[in-house]
Chains A and B, each alone.
Chain A
Amino acid sequence: MSSEEEPTEKKEEKKSSKRRNKEKSGKLHESLKDIKARAGVIGYILRSSDSASIDLKDPTKIIDYAVLSSTALEAGEDLSKTFELGEIQNVLLEGKDAKILSLKVEDQRLSIFMERTVSHEKIHKDLNI
Protein backbone atom coordinates (compact mmCIF):
# COMPACT_ATOMS: atom_id res chain seq x y z
CA MET A 1 0.00 0.00 0.00
CA SER A 2 1.55 3.31 -1.07
CA SER A 3 1.42 6.47 0.96
CA GLU A 4 -0.59 8.17 -1.83
CA GLU A 5 -3.38 5.54 -1.68
CA GLU A 6 -4.12 6.07 2.01
CA PRO A 7 -5.63 9.55 1.79
CA THR A 8 -7.86 8.40 -1.07
CA GLU A 9 -9.06 5.46 1.00
CA LYS A 10 -9.70 7.70 3.95
CA LYS A 11 -11.57 10.13 1.75
CA GLU A 12 -13.71 7.30 0.46
CA GLU A 13 -14.33 6.09 3.99
CA LYS A 14 -15.36 9.58 5.09
CA LYS A 15 -17.65 9.92 2.10
CA SER A 16 -19.27 6.59 2.78
CA SER A 17 -19.59 7.44 6.48
CA LYS A 18 -21.26 10.73 5.58
CA ARG A 19 -23.56 8.89 3.19
CA ARG A 20 -24.49 6.39 5.90
CA ASN A 21 -25.13 9.19 8.38
CA LYS A 22 -27.27 11.00 5.83
CA GLU A 23 -29.23 7.84 5.17
CA LYS A 24 -29.67 7.26 8.90
CA SER A 25 -30.71 10.84 9.40
CA GLY A 26 -33.20 10.54 6.54
CA LYS A 27 -34.66 7.37 8.05
CA LEU A 28 -34.83 9.03 11.48
CA HIS A 29 -36.71 11.99 10.01
CA GLU A 30 -39.10 9.62 8.29
CA SER A 31 -39.68 7.72 11.54
CA LEU A 32 -40.22 10.99 13.39
CA LYS A 33 -42.70 12.17 10.79
CA ASP A 34 -44.61 8.94 11.22
CA ILE A 35 -44.45 9.11 15.02
CA LYS A 36 -45.50 12.75 15.09
CA ALA A 37 -48.71 11.85 13.22
CA ARG A 38 -49.76 9.39 15.93
CA ALA A 39 -52.48 10.19 18.44
CA GLY A 40 -51.17 11.64 21.66
CA VAL A 41 -47.76 12.60 20.30
CA ILE A 42 -47.15 16.30 20.92
CA GLY A 43 -44.03 16.66 18.82
CA TYR A 44 -40.26 16.40 18.84
CA ILE A 45 -37.04 18.37 18.91
CA LEU A 46 -33.97 17.00 17.16
CA ARG A 47 -30.80 18.98 17.76
CA SER A 48 -27.29 18.64 16.44
CA SER A 49 -24.35 20.92 17.17
CA ASP A 50 -25.25 23.27 14.32
CA SER A 51 -28.96 22.78 13.59
CA ALA A 52 -32.31 21.82 15.04
CA SER A 53 -35.54 20.35 13.71
CA ILE A 54 -38.57 21.23 15.77
CA ASP A 55 -42.06 20.01 15.17
CA LEU A 56 -44.52 20.70 17.96
CA LYS A 57 -48.30 20.91 17.87
CA ASP A 58 -48.26 23.95 20.15
CA PRO A 59 -45.50 26.32 18.96
CA THR A 60 -45.97 28.56 22.00
CA LYS A 61 -44.38 25.85 24.11
CA ILE A 62 -41.23 25.47 22.02
CA ILE A 63 -38.96 27.31 24.45
CA ASP A 64 -40.34 25.56 27.54
CA TYR A 65 -40.04 22.14 25.94
CA ALA A 66 -36.59 22.86 24.50
CA VAL A 67 -35.23 24.00 27.86
CA LEU A 68 -36.85 21.13 29.73
CA SER A 69 -35.68 18.41 27.35
CA SER A 70 -32.16 19.78 27.33
CA THR A 71 -32.12 19.98 31.14
CA ALA A 72 -33.49 16.44 31.43
CA LEU A 73 -30.70 15.03 29.27
CA GLU A 74 -28.04 17.00 31.14
CA ALA A 75 -29.46 15.90 34.49
CA GLY A 76 -29.56 12.34 33.17
CA GLU A 77 -25.87 12.58 32.31
CA ASP A 78 -25.09 13.99 35.76
CA LEU A 79 -27.06 11.22 37.44
CA SER A 80 -25.32 8.67 35.26
CA LYS A 81 -21.91 9.97 36.36
CA THR A 82 -22.97 10.15 40.01
CA PHE A 83 -24.37 6.62 40.12
CA GLU A 84 -22.06 5.09 37.49
CA LEU A 85 -24.86 4.16 35.13
CA GLY A 86 -22.61 4.16 32.05
CA GLU A 87 -23.48 5.68 28.71
CA ILE A 88 -27.00 7.13 28.62
CA GLN A 89 -29.41 5.18 26.45
CA ASN A 90 -32.47 7.26 27.19
CA VAL A 91 -34.06 9.53 29.74
CA LEU A 92 -37.79 9.44 30.39
CA LEU A 93 -39.37 12.34 32.20
CA GLU A 94 -43.01 11.93 33.18
CA GLY A 95 -45.21 14.80 34.31
CA LYS A 96 -48.85 14.99 35.28
CA ASP A 97 -49.86 16.08 31.78
CA ALA A 98 -47.16 14.81 29.45
CA LYS A 99 -43.91 12.90 29.18
CA ILE A 100 -40.64 13.31 27.33
CA LEU A 101 -38.45 10.59 25.93
CA SER A 102 -34.95 11.96 25.35
CA LEU A 103 -32.06 10.12 23.78
CA LYS A 104 -28.81 10.62 21.93
CA VAL A 105 -28.70 9.57 18.31
CA GLU A 106 -25.10 9.72 17.09
CA ASP A 107 -24.15 13.34 17.70
CA GLN A 108 -27.78 14.50 17.83
CA ARG A 109 -30.10 14.88 20.78
CA LEU A 110 -33.67 13.83 20.27
CA SER A 111 -36.62 14.53 22.54
CA ILE A 112 -40.10 13.29 21.79
CA PHE A 113 -43.03 14.81 23.67
CA MET A 114 -46.21 12.86 24.18
CA GLU A 115 -49.24 12.51 26.36
CA ARG A 116 -48.90 10.23 29.36
CA THR A 117 -51.08 7.53 27.88
CA VAL A 118 -48.83 7.02 24.83
CA SER A 119 -46.47 4.03 24.97
CA HIS A 120 -42.97 5.49 24.96
CA GLU A 121 -41.58 1.95 24.69
CA LYS A 122 -43.30 1.45 21.34
CA ILE A 123 -42.10 4.83 20.13
CA HIS A 124 -38.55 4.02 21.16
CA LYS A 125 -38.79 0.74 19.33
CA ASP A 126 -40.25 2.33 16.21
CA LEU A 127 -37.42 4.81 15.99
CA ASN A 128 -35.24 1.88 14.84
CA ILE A 129 -32.12 3.37 16.35
Chain B
Amino acid sequence: MSKDQYATALKTALTEIKNVCPDIKSSFIFTKDGAIVAGDSEASDTIKKALHSFQNIREKADAIGGIHALSVNGSEGNMQISQVNEMYLATATFKNADTKYLQTITGVIVPTILKLLKDIIHAPTPPKAASPQQLTVEKITGFFVGDSAEVDQKILGEWSKFFEGKTINTVEIQAPNGKTTRCKVKAIDDERLEGKGLIRIPEKRLQMLKVREEEVVRVKPITP
Protein backbone atom coordinates (compact mmCIF):
# COMPACT_ATOMS: atom_id res chain seq x y z
CA MET B 1 0.00 0.00 0.00
CA SER B 2 1.42 3.38 -1.02
CA LYS B 3 1.54 6.49 1.15
CA ASP B 4 -1.17 8.05 -1.00
CA GLN B 5 -3.51 5.11 -0.51
CA TYR B 6 -2.81 5.21 3.23
CA ALA B 7 -3.61 8.93 3.37
CA THR B 8 -6.73 8.47 1.24
CA ALA B 9 -8.00 5.72 3.52
CA LEU B 10 -7.52 7.92 6.58
CA LYS B 11 -9.02 10.97 4.88
CA THR B 12 -12.07 8.92 3.94
CA ALA B 13 -12.38 7.82 7.55
CA LEU B 14 -12.21 11.44 8.74
CA THR B 15 -14.84 12.47 6.19
CA GLU B 16 -17.14 9.68 7.33
CA ILE B 17 -16.67 10.69 10.97
CA LYS B 18 -17.51 14.27 10.00
CA ASN B 19 -20.66 13.00 8.31
CA VAL B 20 -21.67 11.19 11.49
CA CYS B 21 -20.68 14.13 13.70
CA PRO B 22 -21.54 17.35 11.83
CA ASP B 23 -20.31 19.40 14.80
CA ILE B 24 -16.74 18.82 13.65
CA LYS B 25 -15.22 21.99 12.17
CA SER B 26 -11.97 20.44 11.16
CA SER B 27 -10.08 17.21 11.71
CA PHE B 28 -6.68 15.93 10.76
CA ILE B 29 -4.11 13.28 11.61
CA PHE B 30 -0.42 13.97 11.99
CA THR B 31 2.71 12.17 13.09
CA LYS B 32 4.75 12.87 16.23
CA ASP B 33 7.19 14.79 14.05
CA GLY B 34 4.44 17.10 12.86
CA ALA B 35 3.94 15.68 9.37
CA ILE B 36 0.32 15.84 8.20
CA VAL B 37 -0.92 12.39 7.20
CA ALA B 38 -4.53 13.22 6.39
CA GLY B 39 -6.90 16.09 6.91
CA ASP B 40 -9.10 18.79 5.44
CA SER B 41 -7.23 19.90 2.36
CA GLU B 42 -9.08 23.21 2.29
CA ALA B 43 -7.66 24.08 5.69
CA SER B 44 -4.01 23.15 5.19
CA ASP B 45 -2.70 26.56 6.36
CA THR B 46 -4.84 26.34 9.47
CA ILE B 47 -3.52 22.87 10.15
CA LYS B 48 0.07 24.01 9.75
CA LYS B 49 -0.51 26.79 12.31
CA ALA B 50 -2.06 24.30 14.71
CA LEU B 51 0.86 21.93 14.30
CA HIS B 52 3.27 24.73 15.09
CA SER B 53 1.42 25.46 18.35
CA PHE B 54 1.34 21.77 19.21
CA GLN B 55 5.02 21.26 18.52
CA ASN B 56 5.80 24.15 20.89
CA ILE B 57 4.17 22.24 23.73
CA ARG B 58 5.59 18.91 22.67
CA GLU B 59 9.14 20.19 22.95
CA LYS B 60 8.55 21.00 26.62
CA ALA B 61 6.31 18.13 27.62
CA ASP B 62 8.96 15.75 28.95
CA ALA B 63 8.13 16.94 32.46
CA ILE B 64 4.79 15.12 32.27
CA GLY B 65 5.94 12.19 30.14
CA GLY B 66 5.20 13.60 26.68
CA ILE B 67 1.81 14.53 25.29
CA HIS B 68 -0.98 12.00 25.43
CA ALA B 69 -3.79 14.49 24.83
CA LEU B 70 -4.51 18.20 24.65
CA SER B 71 -7.93 19.80 25.06
CA VAL B 72 -8.64 23.46 24.50
CA ASN B 73 -12.06 24.50 25.65
CA GLY B 74 -13.23 27.85 24.34
CA SER B 75 -16.44 29.84 24.58
CA GLU B 76 -17.26 29.11 20.92
CA GLY B 77 -15.81 25.64 20.45
CA ASN B 78 -13.34 22.99 21.50
CA MET B 79 -10.20 21.45 20.19
CA GLN B 80 -9.08 17.96 21.08
CA ILE B 81 -5.75 16.45 20.08
CA SER B 82 -5.21 12.89 21.20
CA GLN B 83 -2.59 10.28 20.61
CA VAL B 84 -3.75 7.34 18.52
CA ASN B 85 -1.14 4.63 18.19
CA GLU B 86 1.92 6.37 16.77
CA MET B 87 0.01 9.42 15.57
CA TYR B 88 -2.15 12.27 16.77
CA LEU B 89 -5.75 12.92 15.84
CA ALA B 90 -6.96 16.52 16.06
CA THR B 91 -10.60 17.58 15.97
CA ALA B 92 -11.98 21.08 16.29
CA THR B 93 -15.67 21.20 17.14
CA PHE B 94 -18.43 23.76 17.53
CA LYS B 95 -19.52 24.93 20.95
CA ASN B 96 -22.39 22.53 21.58
CA ALA B 97 -20.79 19.42 20.14
CA ASP B 98 -21.33 16.22 22.03
CA THR B 99 -17.64 15.73 22.75
CA LYS B 100 -18.11 12.47 24.65
CA TYR B 101 -19.97 10.92 21.71
CA LEU B 102 -17.35 12.29 19.35
CA GLN B 103 -14.52 10.89 21.44
CA THR B 104 -16.24 7.52 21.50
CA ILE B 105 -16.56 7.52 17.71
CA THR B 106 -13.04 8.74 16.99
CA GLY B 107 -11.58 6.64 19.80
CA VAL B 108 -12.93 3.49 18.16
CA ILE B 109 -12.88 4.18 14.43
CA VAL B 110 -9.52 5.87 13.96
CA PRO B 111 -7.42 3.39 15.98
CA THR B 112 -9.19 0.51 14.23
CA ILE B 113 -8.43 1.94 10.80
CA LEU B 114 -4.84 2.73 11.73
CA LYS B 115 -4.36 -0.82 13.00
CA LEU B 116 -5.99 -2.23 9.90
CA LEU B 117 -3.78 -0.17 7.61
CA LYS B 118 -0.71 -1.17 9.59
CA ASP B 119 -1.69 -4.84 9.28
CA ILE B 120 -2.21 -4.46 5.54
CA ILE B 121 1.17 -2.81 5.12
CA HIS B 122 2.95 -5.46 7.15
CA ALA B 123 1.03 -8.44 5.81
CA PRO B 124 3.18 -10.86 3.79
CA THR B 125 2.56 -10.39 0.10
CA PRO B 126 0.88 -13.42 -1.40
CA PRO B 127 3.18 -15.52 -3.56
CA LYS B 128 3.04 -14.52 -7.17
CA ALA B 129 1.23 -16.91 -9.44
CA ALA B 130 1.45 -16.56 -13.17
CA SER B 131 -1.60 -17.75 -15.06
CA PRO B 132 -1.10 -21.22 -16.50
CA GLN B 133 -0.94 -21.67 -20.24
CA GLN B 134 -2.83 -24.36 -22.10
CA LEU B 135 -0.41 -25.93 -24.53
CA THR B 136 -0.59 -28.84 -26.93
CA VAL B 137 1.80 -31.69 -26.27
CA GLU B 138 4.46 -32.79 -28.68
CA LYS B 139 6.71 -35.67 -27.78
CA ILE B 140 10.48 -35.43 -27.80
CA THR B 141 12.27 -38.69 -28.45
CA GLY B 142 15.86 -39.82 -28.89
CA PHE B 143 18.96 -40.60 -26.82
CA PHE B 144 20.02 -37.03 -26.16
CA VAL B 145 16.68 -35.37 -25.38
CA GLY B 146 17.50 -34.82 -21.72
CA ASP B 147 14.76 -34.05 -19.21
CA SER B 148 13.73 -30.50 -20.15
CA ALA B 149 10.42 -29.50 -21.64
CA GLU B 150 10.39 -26.85 -24.36
CA VAL B 151 7.98 -23.96 -24.89
CA ASP B 152 7.93 -20.85 -27.08
CA GLN B 153 10.52 -18.22 -26.30
CA LYS B 154 7.63 -15.72 -26.31
CA ILE B 155 5.89 -17.53 -23.45
CA LEU B 156 9.12 -17.73 -21.46
CA GLY B 157 9.56 -13.98 -22.05
CA GLU B 158 6.07 -13.20 -20.73
CA TRP B 159 6.63 -15.30 -17.63
CA SER B 160 9.97 -13.67 -17.11
CA LYS B 161 8.33 -10.22 -17.24
CA PHE B 162 5.82 -11.38 -14.65
CA PHE B 163 8.67 -12.29 -12.33
CA GLU B 164 10.44 -8.96 -12.84
CA GLY B 165 12.96 -10.20 -15.39
CA LYS B 166 13.98 -13.38 -13.64
CA THR B 167 14.73 -16.38 -15.84
CA ILE B 168 12.20 -19.18 -15.76
CA ASN B 169 13.95 -22.51 -15.35
CA THR B 170 11.19 -24.79 -14.12
CA VAL B 171 7.57 -25.41 -15.04
CA GLU B 172 4.77 -27.46 -13.62
CA ILE B 173 2.80 -29.50 -16.11
CA GLN B 174 -0.67 -30.71 -15.27
CA ALA B 175 -2.25 -33.42 -17.35
CA PRO B 176 -6.01 -33.58 -18.04
CA ASN B 177 -6.15 -36.58 -15.66
CA GLY B 178 -4.88 -34.36 -12.84
CA LYS B 179 -1.35 -35.74 -12.67
CA THR B 180 1.36 -33.15 -12.32
CA THR B 181 5.09 -33.04 -12.75
CA ARG B 182 7.80 -30.45 -12.51
CA CYS B 183 10.63 -30.30 -14.97
CA LYS B 184 13.22 -27.95 -16.37
CA VAL B 185 12.19 -25.81 -19.28
CA LYS B 186 13.91 -24.11 -22.19
CA ALA B 187 12.92 -22.37 -25.41
CA ILE B 188 11.92 -24.36 -28.51
CA ASP B 189 14.91 -24.32 -30.81
CA ASP B 190 13.02 -24.96 -34.03
CA GLU B 191 11.60 -21.87 -35.78
CA ARG B 192 8.98 -23.95 -37.58
CA LEU B 193 7.42 -24.97 -34.26
CA GLU B 194 7.30 -21.52 -32.74
CA GLY B 195 4.00 -19.73 -32.19
CA LYS B 196 1.92 -22.88 -32.40
CA GLY B 197 1.10 -23.13 -28.72
CA LEU B 198 3.13 -26.28 -28.24
CA ILE B 199 4.94 -27.78 -25.33
CA ARG B 200 7.54 -30.36 -26.25
CA ILE B 201 7.89 -32.92 -23.50
CA PRO B 202 10.39 -35.82 -23.25
CA GLU B 203 8.79 -39.20 -23.76
CA LYS B 204 9.58 -40.42 -20.24
CA ARG B 205 7.69 -37.48 -18.73
CA LEU B 206 4.72 -38.11 -20.96
CA GLN B 207 4.58 -41.69 -19.75
CA MET B 208 4.74 -40.46 -16.18
CA LEU B 209 1.84 -38.08 -16.83
CA LYS B 210 -0.04 -40.65 -18.91
CA VAL B 211 -0.49 -38.08 -21.62
CA ARG B 212 -0.40 -38.62 -25.35
CA GLU B 213 0.70 -36.32 -28.13
CA GLU B 214 -1.73 -33.55 -29.16
CA GLU B 215 -3.43 -33.61 -25.79
CA VAL B 216 -3.67 -30.22 -24.07
CA VAL B 217 -1.91 -29.72 -20.75
CA ARG B 218 -1.74 -26.84 -18.32
CA VAL B 219 1.71 -25.39 -17.86
CA LYS B 220 2.73 -22.81 -15.28
CA PRO B 221 6.10 -21.38 -14.38
CA ILE B 222 7.57 -21.94 -10.93
CA THR B 223 8.71 -18.82 -9.05
CA PRO B 224 12.42 -18.39 -9.77
Residues of A within 8 A of B (CB): 61, 64-65, 67-68, 71-72, 74-76, 78-80, 82-100, 113, 116
Interface of A is mostly: mixed
Complex CA–CA separation, A89 to B60 (angstroms): 22
Residues of B within 8 A of A (CB): 25-26, 46, 49-50, 52-54, 56-57, 60-79, 92, 95
List 16 A–B pairs whose Cβ atoms lie within 8 Å, in order of A's numbering.
A61-B63, A67-B60, A68-B64, A75-B70, A80-B72, A83-B26, A83-B77, A83-B79, A84-B76, A84-B77, A85-B74, A89-B75, A91-B71, A93-B70, A94-B68, A96-B65
Closest chain A residue to B82, Cβ basis: A94
**Contact assessment for B54 and A75 in the assembled complex, using a CB-CB cutoff below 8 Å:** yes
Complex CA–CA separation, A116 to B71 (angstroms): 14
Q: How many residue pairs, one in A and one in B, have C-beta atoms under 8 Å apart?
A: 114
Interface of B is mostly: mixed
**Contact assessment for B64 and A96 in the assembled complex, using a CB-CB cutoff below 8 Å:** yes
Chain B min CB distance to A120 (Å): 10
Chain B contacts for A76, CB-based, 8 A: 72
**Contact assessment for B61 and A68 in the assembled complex, using a CB-CB cutoff below 8 Å:** yes
**Contact assessment for A85 and B64 in the assembled complex, using a CB-CB cutoff below 8 Å:** no
When A72-B57, A75-B53, A83-B26 are in contact, do A88 and B66 touch as well, CB less than 8 Å? no
Complex CA–CA separation, A46 to B203 (angstroms): 95
